[in-house]
Amino acid sequence: MTDPKDLLRQLADAAIRAADPAHRVPPILPAAPKKAIVLGAGKASAAMARAIEQTWPDTDLSGVVVTRYGYEVACEHVEIVLAAHPVPDDAGREAARRILDMAESATADDLVIALMSGGGSALLTAPADGITFAEKQEVNRQLLRSGADIGEMNTLRKHISAIKGGRLAAAAHPARVLSILISDVPGDDPAVIGSGPTVPDPTTFADALAVVAKYNMELPESVRRHLEAGADETPKPGSPIFDGNELMFAAKPDKSIEAAAEVARAAGFAVVDLGDLVEGEARDVGREHAELALACKAGAGPASAPCVILSGGETTVTMTGHGRGGRNTEYLLGVAERLDGAADIYAVACDTDGVDGSEDNAGAFIDPTTCARAEAAGMSVAAALAGNDAYTLFDNIGDLLMTGPTFTNVNDFRALVVT
């Protein structure tokens, strides 16, 4: 039988490979136009831009996309700007302003290609009038620590922005906009991916204020005034600014799970597919998945050993400690805590963009010796959970998963192998 850790790495690699823009973008592109303006943001945006350049070598291309530091891909005609994620920086703000300016310069005869992928919301930062960049950064920091899900985060982000929530499409009107998306959100809602700068926004200022109240956020006064005033609402479904625009998906999380499932079956394992809509507090989801693995091991689950349990989606972490880590490593601590050394169960969890939270790892692995090895290193899973310090624990026992930049992002990938 395949070594469980080797299989886990093969599963993760297959999931990431299935979302590679170099393979996913060219087949969905329409016939090459004579000219196009390429604008975009996200961790996959530079790789998407290069795929367009290589597929349309005779098209007169220009434009700007902004991606995370380390995620640059050389392009000949489209300028690649590097900026910070998840907390925006000045480079992202300047890139957003230039992208807005280029959109506003487009005419009815122009085709605008908008490339959006995970990370675009933080990278594409243009504060609404009356809100400073520092204030927008502060709101983003609070959101990241709040436990809010991605839909809630982006509802608030859209209503303090000059570019999100359909406003980029409004700036480009009357040019035709073709949006090409790589989804990193449960349900693949275009209005949530990168905070939906080119699609209608169904959320309102009232929804944004509800997020603030739910998580007891202490907003800068100017931000609160802006939200309470509720002026200049985002463009809604049915607005004529979206007439004639098109939208295509280059990659979705479910395709990455399907790719991993094929690898698992080829290795002789039954597959339990929990889907790509899994959400919830990371450690709690980990405990639930551990229970499922134990049931499968006992012959009382949806499949019997040998089997692989697969899932995608995006969990959340409510920060109460001051350690290092991300939602995938915290999920794995939840798994390890519940398994408590149970034999024959192994797991991997990673972010397909190669970055778990804001660390340098994609995720980590666990096996039946994880808790014992942590204790031998002077640590405990319980203490790491209490301090939100998953990174330190997995680093100390040598079980971090390092992929480096993957140039794509279809959100989290998780697999438990039961032998």
Q: What is the pLDDT of residues 284-320, one digit of tens each?
A: 999 999 999 999 999 999 999 999 999 999 999 998 9
Q: Are residues 103 and 246 in the same domain?
A: yes
Which CATH number do you get for residue 202? 3.40.50.10180
Helix, strand or coil, per DSSP, at residue 115: strand
pLDDT value, residue 86: 87
Question: Does 180 lie in the same domain as 53?
Answer: yes
> For residue 91, is it left (φ>0), alpha (ψ between -120 and 50) or beta?
alpha
Q: Is the dihedral of CA 162, 166, 172, 178 positive or negative?
A: positive
Q: Do 191 and 63 fall into the same domain?
A: yes
Share of the chain above pLDDT 90, in %: 95
Q: How confident is the model at residue 160 (pLDDT cuts 50, 70, 90)?
A: very high
Last residue of a domain, one of 197, 232, 251: 251
pLDDT tens-digit readout, 252-284: 999 999 999 999 999 999 999 999 999 999 999
pLDDT on residue 1:
65
Return d(Cα 333, Cα 203) in angstroms, integer.
35
Q: Is residue 23 part of a domain?
A: no
Q: Do 193 and 274 share a domain, yes or no?
A: no
| Interatomic CA distance for residues 248 and 179, integer angstroms | 6
State residue 257's pLDDT score.
Answer: 98
* Mean of pLDDT values over 371-382: 97
Domain of residue 276, CATH code: 3.40.1480.10
- Is residue 19 assigned to a domain? no
Q: For residue 293, what is the enclosing H or E element? A: helix 282-297
358 pLDDT higher than 90: no
Cα separations (Å) of 241 from 40, 105, 237, 354?
Answer: 19, 15, 10, 36
**251, 280, 312 - which closes a domain:** 251
The mean of the pLDDT values for the chain is 96
Rounded to a whole number of angstroms, the distance between the first and last alpha carbons of the chain is: 9
Under 8 Å between Cβ of 169 and 242: yes
Query: 375 and 275 in one domain?
Result: yes
Taking the C-alpha atoms of residue 388 and residue 321, their distance in angstroms, rounded to an integer, is 5
Q: Establish if 174 belongs to a structural domain.
A: yes
pTM for the whole structure: 0.91
Average pLDDT over residues 26-50: 97
> Structurally, how many domains does the chain consist of?
2
Task: Supply the range of the domain harboring residue 277.
Answer: 4-14+254-418
Percent of the chain with pLDDT over 70: 100
Half-sphere exposure of 37 (CA within 13 A, CB side): 21
Query: Are both 116 and 209 inside the same structural domain?
Result: yes
> Do 302 and 222 fall within a single domain?
no
| Separation CA 103–CA 143 (nearest Å) | 28
- Rounded to an integer, what distance in angstroms lies between the CA atom of residue 257 and that of residue 415? 10
Residue 21 and residue 47 in contact, taking contact as beta carbons nearer than 8 Å: yes
Q: Choose the final residue of a domain: 191, 220, 251.
A: 251
